[in-house]
């Protein structure tokens, strides 16, 4: 597998944010991982497991989950939701199709939940995908894991006294992303548009785009206030200031790689010369490694 350390995106390093090999091969290894619960607001809880960050909106109307972690964590996720004491999971909103965010879908639909996502997410899950940057082929998802309700640009839900605004950035982390704003709680779930603390993943093979990612983050920053809590796809909950720092890094990294491309350098040369070394010292030690992120940005810009 190319960029072996890059698999941290899907990995059980999510709790520490460190680049280590990710998905355990043996069932007993999954037994090591649990969900921790952290309140974000009344009726809104962050469930932090080994995959993408899950948020539960819970109350008298039942439970809405944002993402469902890995398939192997589905029963533990249901157990973590049960502790909240808010009844069954009625809805799941997936922020994108990657398996560390949609793995528990089928288990929850068997219990009666309805999956909501962007229409491009359903199309990719139906067909199966190849994540080129890590040479990972993902088989088509079972019918029970697919969204029953899809949207194109936006959707608004009313649940447990909360107004949940769901928006779609056209090309960002993938081409099927969703960003959720919990208006009453003043919380935004950014999905994998934000990897807090390190270089992110731009899944070019799934329609991701570095310029689209930066533009989508600008929209989130504009919507956030000084006290807004922003949940990333991976890493700790942060603020508008944290996300703005991440955005500045993305722009600088993108511009460096663009200049190297204009100068006629190929990918191997850019990686070898390390023009982003200053940024790498700060951002390249967690999440995706510099070489992998350089390739993502390069392929995104070359495609455009």
The pLDDT tens digits for 22-70 are: 444 455 589 999 999 999 999 999 999 999 999 999 999 999 999 999 9
- Domain encompassing residue 242: 4-303
Q: What is the mean pLDDT of residues 5-32?
A: 48
Q: For residues 266 and 212, give the distance between their C-alpha atoms in angstroms, rounded to a whole number.
A: 23
User: Mind listing the pLDDT tens digit for each residue in 76-102?
Assistant: 999 999 999 988 999 999 999 999 999
Q: What Rg value do the Cα atoms of the chain yield, rounded? A: 18
Distances (CA, A) of 18 to 8, 100, 288: 8, 16, 9
Our count of domains for the chain comes to 1
pTM of the entire predicted model: 0.92
Quote the mean pLDDT of the chain. Answer: 91
- State how far the alpha carbon of 206 is from the alpha carbons of 7, 25, 200, in Å: 16, 25, 15
Give the domain CATH number at 203: 3.60.15.10
User: Residue 28: its pLDDT value, please?
Assistant: 52
Chain centroid to CA 92: how far?
15
């Amino acid at each position: 597998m190319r960029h072996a350390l890059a698999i941290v995106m899907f990995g059980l390093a999510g709790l520490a944010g460190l680049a280590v090999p990710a998905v355990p091969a043996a069932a007993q290894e999954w037994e090591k991982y649990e969900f921790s619960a952290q309140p974000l607001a009344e009726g809104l809880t962050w469930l932090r497991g080994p995959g993408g960050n899950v948020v539960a909106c819970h109350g008298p109307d039942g439970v809405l989950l944002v993402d469902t972690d890995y398939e192997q964590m589905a029963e533990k996720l249901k157990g973590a939701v049960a502790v909240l004491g808010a009844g069954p999971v009625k809805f799941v909103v997936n922020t994108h199709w990657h398996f560390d965010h949609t793995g528990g879908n089928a288990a929850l639909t068997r219990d009666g939940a309805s999956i909501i996502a962007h229409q491009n997410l359903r199309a990719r899950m139906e067909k199966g995908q190849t994540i080129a940057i890590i040479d990972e082929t993902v088989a088509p998802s079972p019918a029970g894991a697919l969204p029953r309700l899809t949207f194109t640009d936006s959707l608004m839900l009313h649940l447990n006294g909360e107004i949940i605004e769901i928006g779609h950035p056209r090309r960002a982390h993938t081409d099927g992303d969703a960003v959720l704003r919990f208006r009453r709680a003043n919380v935004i779930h950014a999905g994998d548009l934000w990897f807090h603390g390190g270089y992110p993943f731009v899944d070019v093979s799934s329609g991701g785009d570095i310029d689209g990612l930066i533009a989508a983050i600008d929209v989130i920053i504009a919507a956030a206030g000084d006290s807004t809590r922003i949940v990333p796809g991976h890493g700790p909950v942060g603020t508008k200031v944290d996300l703005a720092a991440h955005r500045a890094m993305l722009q600088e990294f993108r511009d460096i790689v663009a200049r190297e491309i204009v100068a006629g350098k190929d990918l191997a040369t850019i990686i070898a010369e390390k023009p982003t070394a200053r940024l790498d010292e700060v951002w390249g030690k967690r999440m995706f490694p510099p070489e992998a992120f350089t390739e993502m940005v390069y392929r995104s810009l070359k495609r455009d």
